[in-house]
Amino acid sequence: PVKVVQPDQPDKERLSRKYPPKAKDEVIQVGETVELDEHNIANWDDISDYVDAVYDETEDKDEILTDRPGRYRNRGKLRILYTDGSEKILKITIKVEGEEETATPSEATPSEATPSEAKGNDAKKYDPIPQDVIVKPGETLEPEEGIKNKEELPSDTEYKDVTPSNVDKTKDYEAIIKVVYPDGSSEEIKVPVTVSKGSRGTGGSWSGGSGGGGSSSRILNTSNDRIYADPDMSVSSGSVGGSWILVDGASNKWSYHTSTGALAKKGWMYISNPYAKDEYGKFSWFKFNEDGIMEYGWIKSQNGKWYHTHAISDGNLGVLHRGWYYEPMDGKWYYLDQKTGAMCEGWLLIDNQYYYFTEAANVLQQTYLQKEDGHWYYDNHNRRPYGSMYQNERTPDNYYVDANGVWKPES
């Protein structure tokens, strides 16, 4: 269930939009750990009075190799909670520097300064763009094919596949391509790799010429237009080249047509979203009803689980939420699983703190009702909603949680 924000609602009512945070790179030395906080917000002094909390929600930190120099563009993630309940996700670039990278040109004598030091770091100047790649079973990935804009990078740039050896490459996976520039700087890019199921016929979609020669991997020029009953986080490629159509601007009704003209409906689709803000990534899960209209707000999926999608038309309308979510209609906090997106219940360990979320067994009557417009609305202010977090009270099993919902062992 989620509040439907009308298009004419003033932006000034949301502090996250009135006082947006600005990212500041996290720079650490080889061997140090990645820890993000308010010091990664460049304009913290300007917005701190309007912020309740800042959480480091960087995923897969073990994939950030801190034992060697490197640059991880937008891999860090901060979740910023404002005093009015709104929130903002801020992507942070993480730089791991070695001793050879810490010296500045001013610290070198003219005879020691190299051309690359004089013109700046190539990794800062260039922005490699990843693209989906497809390989046949058993074939080797050619790392340079995972970079879409190679022609925009220096001609002597090298590309290395540094995907961990424990990744299962017999099925679709995410490769890590290291881009090494002529000046010695580098950065790592994640590239979706699809492993072909069997051989392709003459009408297949392998790009490039046929016959001998050439590389073994091929750029994927097909679109995954499949409709899923529920979000599937193992999916690595999505629908591309389709069109978003505004059906009704007054009520934010959108539909999506694939590159073949097919209307997405009756389920979830993983779609390239050209309108998305940076923090939500290139692809997102969207839900469509039986008429092909995109749903947003609270959604009960076919697996019986609840999901929440972004309900504000700010470039992320309909995008699947993950992590903490504050619901203005009932004034409660919810937690959506970081990996599946499904709403959580019961006891949950988050950032080394225990929280309790209302279980279905403790909700005797429905608290959200679906109305004619298809959205779910909070309908009873006297009952606790399913999935809502307990605060400043005792849980059903008699444990005390404080005003922030954190269990206090001494109580």
Residue 398 structure tokens = 């008699």
pLDDT of residue 102: 34
pLDDT of residue 10: 37
Fold of 21-97: Immunoglobulin-like (2.60.40)
Residue 374 structure tokens = 């298809």
Distance CA 129, CA 76 (A): 18
Residue 205 near residue 131 (C-beta atoms within 8 A): no
CA-CA-CA-CA torsion sign (273, 310, 307, 52): positive
Distance CA 34, CA 377 (A): 40
Fold of 227-407: left handed beta-beta-3-solenoid (2.10.270)
* Average pLDDT per 10 consecutive residues for the chain, totaling 411 residues: 38 74 88 89 90 88 80 85 87 76 33 34 78 80 87 87 85 88 86 66 32 42 82 84 86 88 92 61 85 93 90 83 90 91 92 91 80 81 87 91 87 47
Q: What is the pTM of this model?
A: 0.47
Q: Which of 65, 73, 63, 61 is nearest to 98 (CA)?
A: 65
pLDDT of residue 13: 55
Distance CA 311, CA 328 (A): 12
pLDDT of residue 36: 92
pLDDT of residue 281: 53
What separation in angstroms does the CA of 206 have from each of 17, 211, 384?
44, 12, 54
Does residue 39 sit in helix, strand or coil? helix
